[in-house]
Amino acid sequence: MTGWKNISLILGVVISLTVVVAKVANIDARYAKAEEVAQVAKRLDNKIIQDRMEKLQERMWAMEDWWGEKFAVEKNRIHDTLEELLHFMTEEARDHYRDLQREYAKLERRLKEQEDE
């Protein structure tokens, strides 16, 4: 009978160790996946910011092109600087352009902060 008790004791210890090792592996895998998910989330966030910056830049260029053509027709020359073009724009257009610039700069800082992390 003692032989069976020893065997069942050893078998119980082996099963218990197997369960503990499996739980530790499961916990480790869960945290490893959490890190991967965090990295993917960060990359997605960066991509969203970059896409938004690209759209803002395209809008600024479109405004520069449109107002530049208008400037060229009215003044019979090409503007020398962006400031000259901004001065030529209506106040509403100029404010909108500067809002775009501010938003672009804000996103640029946010992207840099995320890259520094």
Q: How far apart are CA 33 and CA 41, in angstroms?
A: 12
What is the number of H-type helices and E-type strands within the chain? 3, 0
Output the pTM of the full model.
Answer: 0.70
pLDDT tens digits for range 38-97: 888 899 999 999 999 999 999 999 999 999 999 999 999 999 999 999 999 999 999 999
- Reading the block at residue 20, the tokens are 């503990």
CB neighbour list of residue 49: distance below 8 Å, 6 or more residues apart? 107, 110, 111, 114
pLDDT tens digits for range 15-50: 777 777 777 767 666 666 777 878 888 999 999 999
Q: How far apart are CA 56 and CA 53, in angstroms?
A: 5
